[in-house]
Amino acid sequence: MRRYLYLIFFAFLHLLLPAAVTAQTVPEPAPKAAETAPSPPEVGPLELNMVMLVRDGAEVRVASGAVNRGEALVSIPFKYRRTAELTEDLVIPGLFGNGERILLKAGATGYWAGRFSSLTVNSTTLNGIPIRQSYGQMSYVQIWCFFGSNDKGKAASACVQLLEDGRAEYIITGRPYLLKNFSVQGASEVLKFSFQEKEVEVLPDLRMEYRFVEWDTKDVDVDFMIQGVWIDSLPAQREADGSALLETPAGNLRLRPLGSDRLKAMASLEQPSKPAEKVEAPARLDQETLQKTMLGIAQIVEAEANRLDNSVPTRMQVATPAQIDPSPRPIRAGEVVARQTIRPVRAFTQDTSPLNRPTRFGPPGALLFQVSQGNDPTMLCWRNPEQMAQTAPDQQQNRVQSYCLEDYDKDGRYEVLWKNPVFAEGTRYLLQGRSSRTVLNQPDSPPISVQPADPSLLPPETIELVYLGVSDEKLNETGAVIPESLKFQWRYATFPGGSPEITGIFMFEVNVSKEGSGQYHIGDQPVLIVRDVKADSNPNLQVQGFYPLGDVDLQILAERAKDMRAFAQKLREGAKAPAEATTGATASAPSPAVP
């Protein structure tokens, strides 16, 4: 979706900064229309317009006369844009994991509640105390909510989030007419669940209401309700004449006070009932605010470029061509669409054993592989190959004997020993952290010398390209929800069960045209083509190849950092430009890196 200047800044900032732990948030609303006094404010697109729309042919009820606290100002009939029906019972584990429990019987009807993002925090603890924390990959889930009856014949409802790997989880909500606040803590995995997207009536005579609360000095408080259930508070700012304008899907609702009575109001709709239209006019900022915003974001972008420069590079030797199915075929979220093997670019053997402990730190001649920590390419690591071959389950990998050596003074010998490095679960070579630093500077424990070795002696690492699903939607000209972009991710997959939050290498998006197609390129060569992308079906995918053989950067961090610095420089130049050249202008964030 298009964003305007300051919205681009904050959207870009959102990508750089970590989100809340295990939080899931509704996609941000589309930007409001520009306001130019003395014209009344325009109605901008509301986020609920992606989920629901005003029901044709039904009465929009506007209160006549004085409205008291708790009474409806306007009642708007609506229906959900995407609906579905359960084709089998929705089943989760029973209490305390015993047996099974039917939440909803087959035949329950429901609706698409939207797409949500989730960011997981991975914590490493020592004796129960967190010692290291890292943020996992952003995941994208769709949530569907259903209404029906349980196995006892009582009315029930449930919301289910569809995870990237094809699984589903039941989340805890109240009456889920519109998701605003809900919990994913303790979500239960769904044992049985299937539905068919089709046009059905979810509930009879669905209505949203805007109920009056009270007038304050600066605004008026209004409660947003659906079927009598509170959803949100919507304060509307008072204008010069004391009235207030509230945006609704049915039009502008004008609220006027009755004298000085804080607990009474009059209401009227100021435009015909119709869905709000998307407005593409950029909002204007005053020059001083715009300059401060541009300079502030430039500083943040520059800091992110510096962070990328000091990130762990992902240069690897690609050992095999991509294992792909080149024929067009439908794909599901969580499906592997390509697979390759890689290994470190360089390998070495150690002349002696660190601390003269060959059992713990490998014998003379042990094969080491080169990794990079920050901007330092002089880290060499060893993992006990026999133990690695015997401990494939990811929960046991950290029991494998391992260590890393560092040439701190760059003299060609390795004098720093890291006894307990942390490697990512599910991988052979992805170093995540170091601890237990020892300096090798004693006669009985001298620095370690190494000799070059053949990298092909290192066991290969498997990586997989996974389709994560639709990552963004929009409304087309007819008001239908259609996909706007699809998300893919390369992951380490040497050992089964590796967490996607930890083993993710590189994520990218494929933008979808209004015709439902898109391409992803490496250089000028399209390597991935999607067609027939629709909101209610799996897209068709054709993979033509991916990483070439040889030494390849799995993601080009240096180029991404360069693009960011160029973007930061444009922001600084724009901040110094005359007012007429910057006010209301648009800019685009750096293009994403390609493998």
pLDDT reading at 595 higher than 60 = no
Mean predicted lDDT score pLDDT of the chain: 77
Quickly count: other Cβ atoms within 10 Å of residue 66's Cβ.
14
Interval 116-144: pLDDT, tens: 766 555 555 656 665 555 555 556 678 89
Alpha helices in 375-463 (DSSP H): 385-390
Q: What is the mean pLDDT of residues 302-324?
A: 75
* Tokens at 593, concatenated: 């890196």
**With left for phi above 0 and alpha for psi between -120 and 50, is residue 536 left, alpha or beta?**
alpha
Residue with tokens 């607990």: 263
Q: How confident is the model at residue 279 (pLDDT cuts 50, 70, 90)?
A: very low
Distance CA 512, CA 532 (A): 10
Among candidate residues 383, 76, 131, 380, the one with its CA nearest the CA of residue 250: 76
Quickly count: other Cβ atoms within 10 Å of residue 18's Cβ.
12
Radius of gyration of the chain from its Cα atoms, rounded to whole angstroms = 29
Interval 160-193: pLDDT, tens: 988 766 778 888 777 899 987 666 666 778 888 8
Specify the length of the chain in residues: 595
CB 450 within 8 A of CB 368: yes
Interval 343-359: pLDDT, tens: 999 999 999 999 999 99
Among candidate residues 510, 505, 487, the one with its CA nearest the CA of residue 555: 505
pLDDT of residue 183: 66
User: What is the DSSP secondary-structure string of 211-263?
Assistant: EEEEE-SSEEEEEEEETTEEEEE--EEB-TTS-EEEEETTEEEEEEEETTEEE
The DSSP 8-state label assigned to residue 150 in this structure reads -
Instruction: Specify the DSSP element, H or E, that contains 93.
Output: strand 90-93
pLDDT reading at 585 higher than 50 = no
Distance CA 153, CA 68 (A): 38
Alpha helices in 228-357 (DSSP H): 287-309
pLDDT of residue 26: 32
pLDDT reading at 540 higher than 70 = yes
Among candidate residues 27, 296, 306, the one with its CA nearest the CA of residue 142: 27
pLDDT of residue 500: 63
Distance CA 512, CA 490 (A): 20
CB 481 within 8 A of CB 475: yes
pLDDT reading at 541 higher than 60 = yes
Q: What is the mean pLDDT of residues 294-320?
A: 77
**Is cis: bond before 496, omega within 30 of 0?**
no
DSSP, collapsed to helix, strand or coil, labels residue 454 as coil
* Tokens at 547, concatenated: 């990483």
Interval 61-106: pLDDT, tens: 999 999 999 999 999 999 998 999 999 999 888 876 678 888 899 9
Distance CA 467, CA 488 (A): 5
pLDDT reading at 255 higher than 90 = yes
Q: How confident is the model at residue 433 (pLDDT cuts 50, 70, 90)?
A: confident
Give the CA distances from residue 358 to residues 240, 354, 517, in Å, rounded to whole numbers and listed in that order. Answer: 82, 7, 57
Distance CA 243, CA 236 (A): 9
pTM confidence score? 0.65
Distance CA 124, CA 133 (A): 6
Which one is predicted more confidently, 280 or 531? 531
* Tokens at 457, concatenated: 């002696």
Describe the chain by its helix, strand, coil percentages, rounded to 5.
Answer: 15, 45, 40
pLDDT reading at 400 higher than 50 = yes
Backbone angles phi, psi at 580, to 5 degrees: -65, -20
pLDDT reading at 462 higher than 80 = yes
b (16+ CB within 10 A) / e for 361-382: bbeeebbbbbbbbeeeebbbbb
